[in-house]
């Protein structure tokens, strides 16, 4: 038997590349590689091109830092959104979770990470500076912290709170109830929607 080795270098290379993706083990990587092998070559080319295109051409909104095809993202440029309320999240995934609730009508600020000394991510590695600038520029009345529970989320929230103290902006945090997951992504829509509606003044 081949054990960990495959009868083809091409296959081995593809499995290795696919296996680098988060949540994809070697077994899944092999299944995906074999699936792709059975697809029309144009489909696979399209997949490869779209991934390369995403990485090479993706831009970030100059206002909120969210991935966007334009200089300003659709949410920031939507005149129906309340631009005086800014919800601070770790990543685009959280924006999508909150948008799915239909309960939030303000705008966002995407940090692009969370403070995590264990992973070598410090305050300067996430977009807190641009948030402070945004608040200092005026027109922001409330900053809603919607970060994960747990030490990293709390450390990040406290750091942001300190950076914003003195600006006079109201700082709130989404309400946390029993049974909350660590990740906003895994919280159900109803619960997340309620926790945004029930947000409270942030009390470190």
Residues that bind Zn ion (CB under 5 A): 61, 63-64, 66, 73, 76
Min CB(90)–Zn ion separation in Å: 15
Min CB(128)–Zn ion separation in Å: 16
Nearer Cβ to Zn ion (61/173):
61
Sequence-ordered strand ranges (E) for the chain = 59-60, 67-68, 82-89, 106-110, 142-145, 170-173, 200-201
Nearer Cβ to Zn ion (76/192):
76
Min CB(172)–Zn ion separation in Å: 20
Helices (H), 39-183: 41-57, 92-101, 128-136, 151-164
Min CB(36)–Zn ion separation in Å: 34
CB 65 within 8 A of CB 109: yes
Buried b / exposed e along 88-113 (16+ C-beta atoms within 10 A): bbbbbebbebbeebeebebbbbbbbb
Nearer Cβ to Zn ion (5/80):
80
3-class state of residue 198 by DSSP: coil
Nearer Cβ to Zn ion (73/145):
73
């Amino acid at each position: 038997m081949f054990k960990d080795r495959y009868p083809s270098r091409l296959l081995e290379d593809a499995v290795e590349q696919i296996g680098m993706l988060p949540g994809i083990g070697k077994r899944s990587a092999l299944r995906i590689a074999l699936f792709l092998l059975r697809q029309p070559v144009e489909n696979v080319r399209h997949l490869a091109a779209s991934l390369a295109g995403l990485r090479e051409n993706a831009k970030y909104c100059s206002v909120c830092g969210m991935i966007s095809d334009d200089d300003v993202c659709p949410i920031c440029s939507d005149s129906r959104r309340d631009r005086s309320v800014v919800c601070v999240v770790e990543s685009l995934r959280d924006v999508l979770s909150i948008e799915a609730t239909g309960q939030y009508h303000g705008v966002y600020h995407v940090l692009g990470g969370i403070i995590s000394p264990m992973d070598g991510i410090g305050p300067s590695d996430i977009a807190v500076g641009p948030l402070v600038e945004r608040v200092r520029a005026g027109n922001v009345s409330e900053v809603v912290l919607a970060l994960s529970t747990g030490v990293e989320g709390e450390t990040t929230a406290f750091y942001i709170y300190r950076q914003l103290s003195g600006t006079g902006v109201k700082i709130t945090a989404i309400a946390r109830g029993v049974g909350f997951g660590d990740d906003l992504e895994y919280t159900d829509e109803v619960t997340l929607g309620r926790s945004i509606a029930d947000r409270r003044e942030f009390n470190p």
